[in-house]
Homo-oligomer: A and B are copies of this chain.
Amino acid sequence: MAKENIGKVLGAEIVDNKILVPYVYQLTIKVAKLASEIKPGQFIMIKVAPGLEPTLRRPFSLHRVDKETGTVQIIYQVVGKGTEILSRRKPGEEIEILGPLGNGFDLGEAERIGFVGGGMGIAPLLAVAEQAVQEGKEVVSFLGAKTGDYLLVKKEFARLGKIFIVTDDGSVGEKALVSKPLEKYLKHHDLDLLLACGPTPMLKALAAIVGAHGVKTQLSLEQRMGCGIGACLGCVVPIKADTPEGFVYKRVCSDGPVFWADEILFEVPKATEKQGGCSCG
């Protein structure tokens, strides 16, 4: 994966903050320093309001970056207090950003690259898929969402290569989970690399499929965060390791958010649950 980036505290100006579909917004901020550094798969933490509430910044993955205008875009869904406040912020207002953070995707030498995006997880994949095409690689995309309206940047993906579409309600594409077309595809095609972003159950299902087919796969994970810079150990996920327990907890914010699928433990072994077992820090 790309090298960890520790991020800076930056003041940004809101250029646009528009609703795309119910509860889903696209935020564009002007912050040249960030735009010049951030890479696909990295994320930023946004202080949604000045003052003490909410306490913590909120993490969002890069959707698109325009180095020329110095703007950065994210797409976010209103799911709670922080995103609700963010959705009420207006163009022209200042907003504080911490970023770029995390490691980002790594295309390496791969030639044929698959992209699997579920729901809001589609947005963070666009920039890296575009980069792949620019680098002359072949792109195949598998996109899923609850309804057709939530297949956010379907058209943009369609321009980049072959796409497979599924929805939960069958309103557009097949009524299935996104793992289904992928599995079918892998029966007859090879991929050098797969990049995926989406809800954890989807990622878990993917990990099993790509494991069976031996496709090298990078997954972008989410976890509740504290500092966002690797200091508090708040945002960990279990990653396989050569330790007595067979794994260690690694930080999504600074060791990730992108991890190799075959390194991730989706379930913490029961026996190790009490290796913390206290609420004392």
Contact = CB atoms under 8 A, between A and B. Distances in A.
Interface of A: 49, 51-53, 81, 85
6 contacts: A49-B51, A51-B53, A51-B81, A51-B85, A52-B53, A53-B53
A49 B53 CA distance: 11
A80 to B, nearest CB: 12
A109 B101 CA distance: 71
A53 B51 CA distance: 8
A10 to B, nearest CB: 20
Nearest to A52: B53
A85 B52 CA distance: 12
A65 B81 CA distance: 36
Interface of chain A, main secondary structure: loop
Contacts of A85: 51
Contacts of A52: 53
Contacts of A81: 51
A164 to B, nearest CB: 42
A98 to B, nearest CB: 20
Shortest 5 CB-CB contacts between residues of A and residues of B? A53-B53, A52-B53, A51-B53, A51-B85, A51-B81
A272 to B, nearest CB: 37
Contacts of A49: 51
Contacts of A51: 49, 53, 81, 85
A160 B85 CA distance: 47
Contacts of A53: 51-53
A96 to B, nearest CB: 14
A52 B53 CA distance: 7
Nearest to A51: B53
A242 to B, nearest CB: 46
Nearest to A93: B90
A211 B229 CA distance: 65
A100 B223 CA distance: 47
Nearest to A85: B51
